[in-house]
Chain A
Amino acid sequence: MAKRNIPEINAGSMADIAFLLLIFFLVASTMEVDGGIARKLPQKQPPNQAPPPKLKEKNVLQIAINRKDRLLVEGDQLVQVKDIKQLAIDFIDNGGGEGNKGVGNCDYCKGAKSDASSDHPNKAVISLKSDRGTSYGAFIAVHDALGQAYTELRNRVSKERYGKSYEALIKQQKSDKSQKLKDKIQTIKDLYPEIISEVEPTATGN
């Protein structure tokens, strides 16, 4: 009698096919989600618009980067990138006077309350001036330092009010879409609004 072997379908090459597809996808795809430093450009002004009201000099922190990537703060201090964060914090958090929109004195500021520095976080403008020849790396390093300064201040005030850092609130937003959390984040943002103004670069580079 003949053997009753049922011939098995050879699935050995299946693995090869799957590997081929796998390798194709590995090569043709990227894993990372793009991340970056988010900024907003100012709106374009109509040509016949009256010039904006002058800001008091003490409410503006001027940072300039020259084409050799050196930093100058307030026109007279030569500083390093690592000092920018603390300088920005001291400036924003000074709280020397009354804020905009009738919010009164800054009761959550822990700064020196000096007369020579900013009145209120919502008045404190950081002006960043670069040269056309400034390297992009240095430019981003300053932006990042400023971002860190704001994050640190927001973390602090958020911990005081809600017992949780601002970054933790942002993370929580991924799973929790409630309006309450959104309001909390907005409140913190309003306490320390990010006001960074980029001045058109000077054309001395290259």
Chain B
Amino acid sequence: MSKFKKQKKGLPAISTASLPDIVFMLLFFFMVSTTMRETDLKIIQPTLPKAHNTKKLEHKNLVSTVYIGKSINESIDGDVIQLNDKIARVSDVKNFIFANREQLLEEEIPFMTTLFKVDVGSKVGTVADIKRELREIDALKISYAATPEND
């Protein structure tokens, strides 16, 4: 009699014990395959230009990123430059590069790259000003960030 009763109890609950395992697996996948966002943007997320001929920058610690675009603050007109977490001026670029050099070994310095993340609507003049500063301190490797376009 008791046997029948047991069967009438209905479907057993689906075991969710393996759910954490699945989720942890996803978690580890994302932890390994992604990098942390380092900076808070003080400018409107720049729309990068599209290009066919892009090269990937492999060594993150050798890259110093310069952002140029429109400020979040709408009362500020024209292109603004962001270094690290702050809006900066052209004259701050040298110190920014020197600070990044401090963290590297002597022999790594020639491989340092300055990555320009510039909004498509910005003007070339601002970029040219920064390039002049970079030339003065011998930071000659540059890269213009672009989204790869395949056809």
Which secondary structure characterizes the binding site on chain A? mixed
Minimum Cβ distance to chain B for residue A96 (Å):
26
Which secondary structure characterizes the binding site on chain B? mixed
Residues of B within 8 Å of A18, CB to CB, are: 20, 23-24, 27
Instruction: Say yes or no: A15 contacts B16, CB within 8 Å.
Output: yes
In this assembly, does B30 line the interface, its C-beta being within 8 Å of a C-beta of chain A?
yes
Residues of B within 8 Å of A206, CB to CB, are: 123, 125
Residues of B within 8 Å of A135, CB to CB, are: 120-124
Contact with A along B98-122 (1 / 0, CB 8 A): 0000000000000001011111111
Q: In chain A, what residue has the closest Cβ to B136?
A: A44
Residues of A within 8 Å of B76, CB to CB, are: none
Given contacts A33-B57, A36-B143, contact A201 B120 (CB under 8 A): no
Contact with A along B22-64 (1 / 0, CB 8 A): 0110110011011111000000000001011111111000010
Residue among B35, B53, B116, B136 having the largest count of chain A Cβ atoms under 10 Å: B53
In this assembly, does A162 line the interface, its C-beta being within 8 Å of a C-beta of chain B?
no
Residues of B within 8 Å of A133, CB to CB, are: 123-125
Instruction: Say yes or no: B140 contacts A41, CB within 8 Å.
Output: yes
Residues of B within 8 Å of A25, CB to CB, are: 27, 30-31, 34
Within 8 A of B (CB), among A15-60: 15, 17-19, 21-22, 25-26, 28-31, 33-44
Given contact pairs A25-B30, A132-B123, enumerate 17 new A-B contacts (beta carbons under 8 Å).
A15-B19, A22-B27, A34-B63, A34-B143, A35-B56, A37-B51, A41-B142, A43-B138, A43-B140, A44-B135, A133-B125, A135-B122, A137-B49, A137-B120, A140-B146, A143-B51, A147-B53
Chain A positions within 8 Å of B, measured between CB atoms, are 11-12, 14-15, 17-19, 21-22, 25-26, 28-31, 33-44, 65, 130-137, 139-141, 143-144, 147-148, 151, 198, 200-201, 203, 205-206
Chain B positions within 8 Å of A, measured between CB atoms, are 16-17, 19-20, 23-24, 26-27, 30-31, 33-37, 49, 51-58, 63, 65, 68, 113, 115-125, 127-128, 131-132, 134-136, 138-148
29 contacts between A and B (CB under 8 A): A11-B16, A15-B16, A17-B20, A18-B27, A22-B30, A25-B30, A29-B34, A29-B37, A30-B34, A33-B58, A34-B56, A34-B145, A35-B55, A36-B55, A36-B144, A37-B146, A38-B55, A38-B113, A38-B142, A39-B142, A39-B143, A41-B135, A41-B142, A130-B124, A131-B125, A136-B124, A137-B49, A144-B53, A205-B123
